[in-house]
Structure 1
Amino acid sequence: MYCEETTVNELKSFYRKYPTIKFAKGEVIFQQNEVPAHVYAIKSGVVKVSNLSADGVDQLISFEIIDDIVPICWAFSKTTKALFYYQAYTDCEFYIMSKEVFEAHMANNVGFANAMLSRQVSSYVGNMLQVDALEKTRAYTKLLYTFRYLCLRYGRDIRRDLVKIYVPLTQQEIANTTGLTRETTTLELKKLREQKILSVRRKYYTVDTSKLNAQIDDEYDPGIDVSMLTKVV
Structure 2
Amino acid sequence: MRNTRTLTRRAALGAVSVTAALALAACGGSGDSGSSGDAGSNSSASASAGTGSTAGAHNAQDVTFAQGMIPHHRQALEMAALAADRASSAQVKDLASRVEKAQDPEIRTMSGWLTAWGEDVPAASGGAAESMPGMDHSAGSGMPGMMDGSDMDMLKKASGADFDTMFLTMMIEHHKGAVDMATTEKSKGTYQPATAMSDAIVTAQTAEITEMNKLLGKG
TM-score (norm 1): 0.27
TM-score (norm 2): 0.28
Between 1 and 2, higher relative CO (CA 8 Å, sep ≥ 6) is seen in 2
Which one has a larger percent strand, Structure 1 or Structure 2?
1
Which one has a larger percent helix, Structure 1 or Structure 2?
2
Find the structure with the greater CA-based Rg: 1
